[in-house]
Structure 1
Amino acid sequence: MTLELTPRDEEEKRLRQTLEQVSRQLKKEMLLLGDRRDDVVGIRQEFWDDVRMNFSDSNEVGETWRSIMQQAELLAERERSHKVASEAVERLTKQFDSPYFARIDFTEKGEQTDVIYIGRASLVGEDGLTFWVYDWRAPISSLFYDHEPGPASFAIPDGELSGDLMLKRQFVIRGGQMKHMFDTSETVGDEILQAVLSEGSDTAMKSIVATIQKEQNRIIRDEKHRMLVVQGSAGSGKTSAALQRIAYLLYRYRDTLKPNQIILFSPNPVFKGYVSRVLPDLGEANMRQMTFRELIEARLGHRFEVEDLFSQTEVLAAEEGTTEGAAREQAVRYKGSEHYFATIENYLKRLEREGIRFRPLRYRNMMIVSSEQMLEQFYEVRASDDFGERAARLRRWLLDQLKQWVDTQMNEAWLEEAAEVADQEVIQRAFVDVRRGGGFHDEAFDDEEHMNTKIRRQVAEDAIAPLVRAVRTYRFIDVVAVYQELFQSRSLFTACAPDGKLPCGWDWMALRAEVTLERKKIDHEDATPLMYMMEALEGFRLVEGDIQQVFVDEAQDYSPFQATYLRRRYPRARMTVLGDFNQAIYLQSQDSGGFDGWIRLMAPEHTAVWRLTTSYRSTLQIVQYTKGILAPEDAEGVTPFARMGEEPYVEACSNEATLGQRIAEAITKLETRGYGTIGVITKTAQESGIATELLKQQLSEEVSLTHVTGVSAQLPKGVSVLPSYLAKGIEFDAVLVWDASADRYGEEKDRKLLYTVCTRALHVLHVYYTGLPSPWLPMKS
């Protein structure tokens, strides 16, 4: 009598069969990889031995060239094969650990039931026909994320395919062993989600393909809209969904979309490192990733000293409560506004008729082209020509003028003197030029004169080379002077303002612009407007039209001005922006009115707005506590996932030394309990430096303590001490808040900052303060 197999036994058997498939394919790919590696090494070592070298005449040179190219093509082909085999080995190795995470049984109307296993990557049998595992991005896999058992359908290229979802089963497989198996009637079962969320944090973000929720799946697979705006509460999986969306798009459009055509704007360098592992874990190359600061530096950093957002935040914190600080806050809020953007746009329209400033081209005390001549050239063309056409035309004219000027200087005394002391490199170049022209042979009688002429011309061209470079990069337009003019004339500003009014604090802004810009220093609030004006006056020549997808994380931190700038810089791209206005911690965006600035960038029919309200990151107790920090109307949009944990701990400390001692004691206990990532989060960078020194004095040398700064690229294991703004988007097993006092977080604008800090915790939240607690902290009665 044979015993009937249980569902668990059947799944164990099927898992063993799948692992056998993986093992056989892995052995093949390993052998192929070894062969390809040997081929590549051999061809590289013997490259020149196999090339026939002969330069005796033009025919032999051509044959030599063909021989080199043949070897190069052979090497390139072997290197490509080696790369393919290497990627296959990496994929199969991961599949041997966990080949799939779900099974669905789907019956199309009138057809047999298909049993579908879903994993991070597809696995096709050695016959090339049998699908052992389907990629989670395949159209049929969406049934797992979007439906519970019963009537179901999924999108196909020709429309929609309907049927019945008969079974939905989830697995946790680690090291080729089945740890858990659940049948579920939910989109993704709570048991699996609880198990995954209860795991410890890591120094890099993980893939969430096994736990994607229905609302996240809509975002990941949206192909209809050009603008996706995702408002999600802290820990709702916004960033994870965005990264899975990138992986999905690379899979869906693999023939037309490459990783370097996708760009992700990250909030800081630490976050860049934190998310860098997700796409490689899914078998895809990383997209381009940068911060908005890096964009500013690339455009302005070589000419100006540009303040970054973090430095601005530190300055504002240091000047809080002063007259100067209040005036600067007003300027920061205004210069990120849509009112200011409209003012700049109106100013640019006026500049089409008059007012552009140009830098004259001079060499020593000699005027080559004056500003007046440039003005005449620029404005003599028809008004219908845009800035780009005019600037390009003026650029060509200036380059021609520089060439003509060199011609006029050939017999001048200064050039004769400079040519006499020309360095050896200039002389050598002149000799080569004359020799190529047929000089230095028996019939030549004027070679020396040719040499002298060549040397003089070379010296003259080298002398004005900086001017040529400046003209080629459009630096003949004095953008700073044009920008300053807006703050040097009240009548000009009011004429350009959409409401005909000066903003509050205009006089202070005008004085500040004069002082900073004259010193070649750019305040952060001036950087984007100045960059936008520079781009506009040059005709947006540096727009990146090859970028097809732009992702902006922590989008609530971007001002409306910055949002519009990004749209202009990537004119052909679809955009996905993600954020949480409960975490809007920077002044430049706090008056922006939510995501309206982003939503208005594209037509309504091309725009979708999604909300993610469930917070999965933290325990129910932490989510309930942090909701109490927010204003009631803001807290309404936050729903905790029912994962239980310990209550947040709040403690008063008599002074800073006691604060350091108590946090050091907590770190020791938390490490004993096995928490791998612990974040000590201060308000400012200055505080994080002080906290680091105090904790080093208290903790043993065995404790791994790292002071995370704005230049850090990776989040370390152990204890990280960092300022609030570098913690954005990152999570820790335990968070210890350094001095959540009324002195540090007492203003209304600090409420969301404190909320952001506390919501970094997965399992444990401790809040410490000196003096009086922040009025935003929920206190037990």
Structure 2
Amino acid sequence: MVQIESPHTQDSELEIERDYLARARAALALMHKDVVSRDTPRIGGEDNDERFTNESYLRARWLRAQALVDLPDVPLFFGRLDYESGTVEETDQIYIGRRHVHDDLGTPLVIDWRAPVSVPFYRATPTDRQRVRRRRRYGYSDSAELTAFDDELLDRAAADGAGGTGGAREPDTVDETADDAADAFLRAEIERPRTGPMRDIVATIQPEQDDLVRAPLQPSLCVQGAPGTGKTAVGLHRIAYLLYTERERLSRGGVVIVGPNRSFLSYIRKVLPALGEVDVRQATVDELLGQAQLANAETFDAARVKGDARMVRVLRRALWSHVGTPTEGILYAKGSRRYRVPDYEVQEIVSAVRGSTSYGPGRNAVAQRVAHAVLLRMERRGESPDDRVQNAVARSKPVKQLIDEVWPRLVPEQVLFRLLSDAEFLAASAGDDLTPEEQADLLWPKPARSWKSARWSTADVVLLDELSELIERRAGSLGHLVVDEAQDLSAMQLRALGRRCRTGSATVLGDLAQATTPWATGSWGQVLDHLGMQDAMLAELDRGFRVPAQIIDFAGRLLPAIAPTLGAPRGVREIPDALRITETAEQGLLDTLVSACRKALEGEGSVAVIAADDEIAALRDALLARGLDAALLGAGEGEEEDEDALDALEAGRLVCVPAMLAKGLEFDAVVVAEPARIVEAEPRGLHRLYVVLTRAVTSLHIVHAKPLPAALTGRP
């Protein structure tokens, strides 16, 4: 595909490009050495302000050094643009890579893909060349050795003067040259065997993806993306782009990526560092809000109710019901003088404050207003009290006793414990929002003795977070929040995330057809409303690059049943024998699965066996007994969860994946065991099956003994 005049020219030009790559790597090494060897001057002494400044300088230097690390398996540049003369100052040719590299004189050797001058690499076409004459793409081995390059000649004059093509067919038009070359490069990159964590797509970003990656920080962005459209990659590359264009603004609040589970976060963990961004936190919702102390598994119905937006009103009533009505006034003594504020005036103060502030600040507000009423009586007697006197009155014993009786100090755990363990209190707080059946679902069958010994579920932690906000409004805000698989979050989880990004912006990613949780929201409008991002721009990606067309079309048969409002996604790649369906007898199921795994392992790249959650461990044991070296995803705990399985993927081994953890992951080949059992395992089983069927990049083999779901076969 390289457009050159002879094999000799090809070899010599490839050597020139390799020499340039070696020069760029040497320059990057010098840039890194310059940072790590430079002394960071210390400021002043050891007081808090100066110590904080010194620590900030040291951290900034460390981050800069990390960003300049030359990752051995990541090519420094992936493209080149040859511009018309005079387009770019001092050069007509720029190399485009994942980060900026310059030599010791400051001459740019590699231009960051995020820079404006790099945009035509993704946007230029033969009909809108943007002054680009030639676009060159590079091919690399897995060890980042430059092995080939491919040229697209975007102007007819350049094509006419390009000479022969080394035996390749002469194209009829320049458009055909560019389109065929681009499609071939994209296909080669996508079909390159994958092992280990997710790779960046910076070399193959498509124009519709680039529009979203380079969208401005405000307003927030919501992307509805079908399987294989690259929505997760778009979100990650968008973060890298925003940190390039808005670094100072975002650094003040920070950037957080929220994913559905640790397996997913481990899978995407290398993308941003490969793009030179090492200071982005990645967390699950539970990690961001606080870990649960789960004593018993939450029932489906209880989790659904606790995630519903109606719980906001229930929690508000439960909290504010603790504010009572004063039955007595207050008597304040100062020396020999007595100052009385009558009960009706105290009642008016409490009533006025109750609807004007959060619960926690309300205590102090009532105390200050009662103290002010005392000061007015002092002034009527000719005294001249000041603010110090008012504060002293507000802290006095009579006022404190009044506040503790009428407006007691509370923590979220007290309120929620009472709500979930006291049927009468729950009924009063529920009002008309919850049915008696829903109230029964919420009540603990065996409550703890007190709120201090209670153990909270993941759904409870979200309610505690809402109560914390009602008691004391949270200050501060993230600069930017990325929420992936957002369709699976409850209204209450979304509200909690929105509070952490109150003045920032967000990138919201997901697919309504892949909504698998009992509390999943029904539309992006609802998601954005709960997040507090009502002005977000909604975009859709429906062109599937990674999932072969045969597979996406087959999985798309489920859409009328699970997401009737969504259009069918379009697959852009046809691969022979990408989809196989094998029906077998129950007693022969395991033998057929083993055979399917062995067949898949004959190819290159990663292979996954996906089955119902309660069957995957036994299936993995059976594969091990048959001599297949299979890892199990989700076997670990905490921060180290799934590292062993991901290491296994990097080594090219087979991995067994519970259906619940498949979302967001990709494998070269996928073997799905017994789809009907995946569907039967949970109320939104068809949604889960849609996720499972769309994880393959090259081939999908379905093995079943039980009949396939009717939605897949067209049976009534």
Q: Which residue of 2 aligns with 1:696?
A: 624
Partner of 1:465: none
Residue aligning to 2:303: 332
CA distance in 2, matches of 1:688, 1:306: 24
**For residue 515 of structure 2, what is the aligned residue in structure 1?**
584
Residue 337 of structure 1: CA displacement? Answer: 2.5
Question: What are the Cα deviations for residues 609-649 of structure 1, in whole angstroms up to 9, with x where unaligned?
Answer: 01000112222221122112332746633111124231422
Q: Does 1:100 align with 2:78?
A: yes
2:21 and 2:86 map into 1 onto residues whose CA distance is: 29
Q: Deviations over 1:286-342 (max 9, x none)?
A: 4101111223434xx4xx4366xxx55xxxxxxxxxxxxxxx544433332333334
2:554, 2:116 → 1: CA distance?
A: 40
Q: Which residue of 2 aligns with 1:236?
A: 229
Give unmatched runs, 5+ long, in structure 2. 154-176, 327-345, 369-408
The residue identity in structure 1 corresponding to 2:591 is Q
On the 8 A contact 1:528/1:562 being kept in 2, the answer is yes
SS across alignment from 2:547: coil
Query: With structure 1 as the length reference, what TM-score do the two structures score?
Result: 0.67
Partners of 1:737 and 1:768 within 8 A in 2: yes
Instruction: Say whether 1:387 aligns with 2:321.
Output: no
Deviation at 1:98, TM superposition (A): 4.8
Match of 1:568 in 2: 499
Deviation sequence 1:175-195 (CA, Å, 0-9, x none): 133244444545992111110
Q: Is the 8 A contact 1:107 1:165 kept in 2?
A: no
Q: Secondary structure at the match of 1:103?
A: strand
Answer yes or no: is 1:665 the counterpart of 2:598: no
Of 686, 705, 708, 2:631 maps to 705
1:480 and 2:447 equivalent? Answer: no
Contact 1:220/1:248 (8 A) holds in 2: yes
Of 673, 676, 680, which aligns to 2:605? 676
Opposite residue 178 of structure 1, the aligned amino acid is: A
Per the alignment, residue 532 of structure 1 pairs with: 466
Q: Give the structure 1 partner of residue 139 of structure 2.
A: 172
Report deviation, 1:379. Answer: 5.6
Mapping 1:8-87, distance limit 5 Å: 16=15, 19-20=18-19, 23-24=22-23, 26-27=25-26
Q: What displacement does 1:343 show?
A: 4.2
Q: What letter corresponds to residue 90 of structure 1 in structure 2?
A: D
1:305 paired to 2:294: yes
Q: How does 1:72-471 map to 2 (within 5 A)?
A: 88=68, 90=70, 97-103=75-81, 105=83, 114-129=92-107, 131-151=108-128, 164-174=131-141, 175-183=145-153, 185-186=178-179, 189-258=182-251, 261-298=254-291, 301=292, 304-305=293-294, 312=298, 328-345=299-316, 382-383=353-354, 384-390=356-362
Question: Compared with structure 1, are the counterparts of its residues 517 and 626 closer, same or farther at alpha carbon in structure 2 (3 Å cutoff)?
Answer: farther
Structure 1 residues 552 and 745: CA distance shift in structure 2, 3 A: same
1:333–1:8 Cα change, 3 Å: farther
Q: Partner of 1:722 in structure 2?
A: 657
Change (3 A) 1:486 1:216: farther
Q: In structure 2, do the counterparts of structure 1 residues 761 and 286 end up closer, same or farther at CA, with 3 Å as the change threshold?
A: farther
5+ unaligned residues in a row in structure 1: which ranges? 44-62, 153-162, 313-327, 356-374, 397-472
Task: Name the structure 1 match of 2:388.
Answer: none
Q: Distance in 1 between matches of 2:689 and 2:115?
A: 41
Separation in 2, partners of 1:587, 1:85: 45
Amino acid at match of 2:147: Q
Change (3 A) 1:39 1:211: closer
Displacement of 1:86: 7.1
CA–CA distance in structure 2, aligned partners of residues 680 and 144 of structure 1: 38
> Judging changes above 3 Å, is the alpha-carbon distance between structure 1 residues 395 and 270 closer, same or farther for their aligned structure 2 residues?
farther
Structure-2 separation of matches of 1:78 and 1:485 = 51
Rounded Cα–Cα distance in structure 2 between residues aligned with 1:534 and 1:82: 35
* Native 8 Å contact 2:24 2:110 kept in 1: no
Contact (CA 8 Å) 2:487, 2:527: kept in 1 or not? no
SS of alignment partner, residue 196 of structure 1: helix
Aligned partner letter, 1:708: G
Q: Distance in 1 between matches of 2:325 and 2:705?
A: 59
Are 2:440 and 1:508 aligned?
Answer: yes
- Equivalents in 1 of 2:594, 2:15: separation in Å? 48
User: Per-residue displacement from partner, 1:515-571 (whole Å, max 9, x unpaired)?
Assistant: 47978243444442233113322x134x5x252010111101101221122112331
Partner of 2:337: none
- Aligned partner of 2:437: which letter? G
SS in 2 for 1:332: helix
In 1, Cα distance between the equivalents of 2:57 and 2:245? 26
Within 2, Cα distance between the matches of 1:147 and 1:179? 18
CA contact (8 A) 1:628 1:777 kept: yes
Q: Structure 2 vs 1, CA of residues 651 and 100 (structure 1 numbering), >3 Å: closer, same or farther?
A: closer
Residue number in structure 2 paired with 1:318: none
Choose the corresponding residue for 2:674, options 735, 739, 747: 739
Q: Could you list the per-position Cα deviations for residues 189-214 of structure 1 after superposition, in whole angstroms to 9, with x for gaps in the alignment?
A: 21111101111122100010111111
- Contact kept in structure 1, 2:419 and 2:426, CA below 8 Å: no
How far off its partner does 1:257 sit? 3.1
Deviation at 1:113, TM superposition (A): 9.3
Instruction: Give deviations 1:194-247, integer Å, cap 9, x for gaps.
Output: 101111122100010111111111211111533211100011101111111111
SS at match of 1:258: helix
Distance 1:278 1:167 in 2: 28
C-alpha deviations, 1:425-458, integer Å up to 9, x for none? xxxxxxxxxxxxxxxxxxxxxxxxxxxxxxxxxx
Residues 772 and 675 from structure 1, CA distance in 2 versus in 1: closer, same or farther, beyond 3 angstroms? Answer: same
* 1:512 Cα deviation after fit: 3.9
Asked whether 1:613 is paired with 2:517, we answer no
Once the two structures are TM-superposed, the CA of residue 382 in structure 1 deviates from its matched residue by 3.7
Partner of 2:702: 767
State the match for 1:453 in structure 2. Answer: none
Contact persistence 1:333–1:587 (CA under 8 A): yes
By how many angstroms is 1:143 displaced? Answer: 2.3
The answer as to whether partners of 2:220 and 2:506 remain within 8 angstroms in 1 is yes
Contact 1:202 1:677 in 2 (8 A): yes
Alignment partner, residue 549 of structure 1: 480
CA distance in 1, matches of 2:17, 2:149: 16
The answer on whether the counterparts of 1:678 and 1:720 sit within 8 Å (CA) in structure 2 is yes
Closer, same or farther in 2 for the Cα pair 1:200/1:520, shift >3 Å?
same
Q: Give the CA deviation at 1:169.
A: 3.9
Aligned length: 610
Distance between the aligned counterparts of 1:109 and 1:29, measured in 2?
26
- Does the C-alpha gap of structure 1 residues 486 and 213 become closer, same or farther in structure 2, counting only changes over 3 Å? farther
Question: For the structure 1 residues 730 and 489, does the alpha-carbon distance in structure 2 shift closer, same or farther, using more than 3 Å as the test?
Answer: same
Distance 1:220 1:26 in 2: 27
From the superposition, tell whether residues 167 and 594 of structure 1 become closer, same or farther in structure 2 (CA, over 3 Å). Answer: same
Is the partner of 2:256 in helix, strand or coil? strand
d(CA) in 1 for partners of 2:459 and 2:706? Answer: 34
| Distance (Å, rounded) in 2 between the aligned partners of 1:270 and 1:107 | 49
Q: 1:749: Cα distance to partner?
A: 2.7
